[in-house]
């Protein structure tokens, strides 16, 4: 697991936003940053600072991505035809752990990575334990039979905290989700505004 797992909400306070839209986020109680200097008046941020912030926010949202993993995804997005920002989001949303999270099999992106790692997930009937596995449109992601009664799964499926996006078709009874198509940025249900265009500028500079 990433070291961020134990202090994941620090990112919320650093950014001053509830990144995952969760009720437990400390930003709901303390809007200032973490640490002894957190309540200092904020200084004007440079263009580079804005770009870095956008990158850290997007990378942090997906829970456990290292800089190496994230930059590799950016490089693939840049190589593909079309809008690089849209490509970046589509690639991030095609990760197996992202699909597991969108299907509401687990409550957080952090839990999604661990859930996949521990072998609880099938893709087209075959067990896959690689969170970064690229799910293709038409693939069916499901929870293994013996994992379906886990409290984590049952609570997540029943939670009204978030909705399932249109590009993931979920069979709640069968605990399976079909990845319909790669999404556009506007379709992805981020609780806060994401700015992949600034992330592209960060890497391109």
- Give the model confidence (pLDDT) of 45-55 as tens digits: 799 999 999 99
Calculate the CA 142 to chain-centre distance: 18
Which range among 39-53, 93-107, 182-196 shows the weakest confidence by mean pLDDT? Answer: 39-53
Range 98-123 average pLDDT: 96
pLDDT at 14 over 90: no
Q: What Cα–Cα distance (Å) separates residue 143 from each residue in 16, 19, 23, 64, 177?
A: 35, 26, 26, 21, 9
Cα(188)–Cα(201) distance, integer angstroms: 21
- 8 A C-beta contact, residue 92 and residue 182: no
- 8 A C-beta contact, residue 143 and residue 170: no
189 token code pair: 């249900």
In terms of Cα–Cα distance, which of 13, 103, 12, 96 is closest to 61? 12
pLDDT value at residue 191: 87
């Amino acid at each position: 697991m990433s070291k961020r797992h134990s202090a994941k909400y620090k990112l919320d306070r650093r950014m001053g936003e509830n990144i995952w839209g969760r009720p437990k986020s400390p930003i709901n109680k303390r809007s200032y940053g973490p640490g002894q200097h957190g309540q200092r008046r904020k200084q004007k941020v440079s263009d580079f600072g804005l770009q870095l912030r956008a990158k850290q926010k997007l990378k942090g949202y997906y829970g456990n991505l290292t800089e190496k993993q994230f930059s590799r995804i950016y490089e693939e997005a840049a190589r593909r035809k079309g809008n690089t920002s849209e490509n970046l989001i589509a690639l991030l949303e095609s990760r197996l752990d992202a699909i597991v999270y969108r299907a509401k099999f687990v409550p957080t992106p952090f839990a999604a990575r661990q859930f996949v790692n521990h072998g609880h997930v099938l893709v087209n009937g075959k067990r896959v334990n690689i969170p970064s596995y690229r799910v293709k449109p038409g693939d069916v992601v499901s929870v293994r039979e013996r994992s379906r009664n886990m409290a984590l799964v049952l609570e997540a499926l029943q939670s009204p905290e978030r909705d399932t996006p249109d590009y993931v078709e979920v069979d709640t009874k069968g605990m399976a989700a079909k990845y319909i198509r790669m999404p556009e940025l506007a379709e992805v249900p981020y609780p806060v505004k994401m700015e992949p265009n600034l992330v592209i500028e960060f890497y391109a500079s």
